[in-house]
Amino acid sequence: MIDIVDPEKNNNALSCLNAMYVGSSGSGKTTAVKQLNIASDDCAVFFDPFGDYADNFKGEKVFTYYSWEDFAENLFKARTLGKPFKIARGFNGRVEKGDFELFCGLAWSCGDATKQPLNVVLEELAKYCDTSGKMDGYVSDLIRIGRKFGLRTHCVFQRGQEVGKTVIGNCAVKWIGYQERENDAIYLSKELGLDAEAIAKLEKLEYIIKTDAHKRGEFDYGKFTFKG
Ligand SMILES: Nc1ncnc2c1ncn2[C@@H]1O[C@H](COP(=O)(O)OP(=O)(O)OP(=O)(O)O)[C@@H](O)[C@H]1O
Ligand SMILES: [Mg+2]
């Protein structure tokens, strides 16, 4: 039996540090999650339908569990111990929307502003839940209210139109990668106040990033490289 509980201790002074990663397949979204905004000594939990995080994260072992019982027990235990951890929910078979919602509920249960912040990585957000209209469910709680409970949600998706304004508006960190379609670049440029041409020019593994340290209209460019 797995219980989802409401987080208890909140702190309204905590900043919103949710992050979004938007780009076509192969643009570098998962690479960005692995390299940029989560430190090796942070707490992080991964919804990992494709095994992207199965080995290690910045040199730290990722403990992947393939049943809800094992995942929930180990996540709650790690949270109680109060040390940094990396835990993933992996899947062997088909992943359903109910799996996503349960994952979000369990991450939500871990909210506690008095503990080290918990990074919650949601791969393929748009595939597993409909966030384009009015959002509900635990994913909505994570993205809209999680900040107060020390929860930092990392939303990974391919097209801006798929997730709607609630997600974009509640992510202080914005990573924008290569867009296959010009219309997608135009949509993002309008939503984010960025130059459409600058987005359209991005190649795979190139990106524009806007963090909470950037002022309105400011951003940086970056590019990932791999050795060998
Ligand atoms: N460790 C690595 N070494 C070499 N190339 C890599 C490595 N990791 C990723 N790549 C390459 O970087 C590119 C981007 O990969 P990444 O998995 O980050 O994309 P993505 O945006 O998450 O794609 P998807 O939407 O399909 O999940 C791919 O072409 C991939 O082959
Ligand atoms: Mg990926």
- CA–CA distance, 22 with 179 (Å, rounded to integer): 8
Q: Is the pLDDT of residue 135 over 90?
A: no
Which is nearest to 57 in space by CA: 26, 36, 83? 36
Whether residue 40 lies inside any domain: the answer is yes
Q: What is the pLDDT of residues 43-100, one digit of tens each?
A: 999 999 999 999 899 999 999 999 999 999 999 999 999 899 999 999 999 999 999 9
Q: What is the CATH number of the domain that holds 153?
A: 3.40.50.300
Is ligand 1 within 6 A of the CB of residue 49? Answer: no
The confidence score (pLDDT) of residue 119 equals 98
Which is nearest to 165 in space by CA: 142, 144, 194? 144
Whether residue 181 lies inside any domain: the answer is yes
Whole-angstrom distance between the N-terminal and C-terminal Cα of the chain? Answer: 47
The confidence score (pLDDT) of residue 218 equals 87
The confidence score (pLDDT) of residue 136 equals 83
Whether residue 198 lies inside any domain: the answer is yes
Measured by CA distance, the residue closest to atom 9 of ligand 1 is 31
Measured by CA distance, the residue closest to atom 31 of ligand 1 is 26
Give the number of other Cβ atoms within 10 Å of residue 102's Cβ.
19
Neighbours of ion ligand 2 (CB under 5 A): 29-30
* Helices (H) then strands (E): counts for the chain: 8, 11
Whether residue 226 lies inside any domain: the answer is no
The overall average pLDDT reported for the chain is 94
Provide the number of structural domains found in the chain.
1
Whether residue 196 lies inside any domain: the answer is yes
The confidence score (pLDDT) of residue 183 equals 95
Q: Is the pLDDT of residue 107 over 90?
A: yes
Which is nearest to 152 in space by CA: 116, 101, 188? 116
Q: What is the pLDDT of residues 195-216, one digit of tens each?
A: 999 999 999 999 999 998 888 7
Record the tokens describing residue 187, joined without a space.
């949509």
The confidence score (pLDDT) of residue 16 equals 87
Whether residue 1 lies inside any domain: the answer is no
Kindly state the average pLDDT of the residues 2-13.
Answer: 90
86 close to 62: Cβ distance less than 8 angstroms: yes
Q: Is the pLDDT of residue 129 over 90?
A: no
* 177 alpha carbon, closest ligand: 1
Chain-centre distance for alpha carbon 12: 21
101 close to 139: Cβ distance less than 8 angstroms: yes
C-alpha 52 to ligand 2 mean position (Å): 7
Record the tokens describing residue 77, joined without a space.
């235990």
- CA–CA distance, 43 with 34 (Å, rounded to integer): 13
The confidence score (pLDDT) of residue 62 equals 98
150 close to 112: Cβ distance less than 8 angstroms: yes
Q: Is the pLDDT of residue 132 over 80?
A: no
**Cα→Cα distances 52→30, 42, 49, 76, 89, Å:** 8, 18, 8, 22, 11
The confidence score (pLDDT) of residue 25 equals 97
The secondary structure of residue 147, as a DSSP letter, is: G
Whether residue 9 lies inside any domain: the answer is no
Whether residue 13 lies inside any domain: the answer is no
Q: Give residue 83's domain range.
A: 19-205
- CA–CA distance, 58 with 6 (Å, rounded to integer): 30
C-alpha 84 to ligand 2 mean position (Å): 24
The confidence score (pLDDT) of residue 165 equals 85
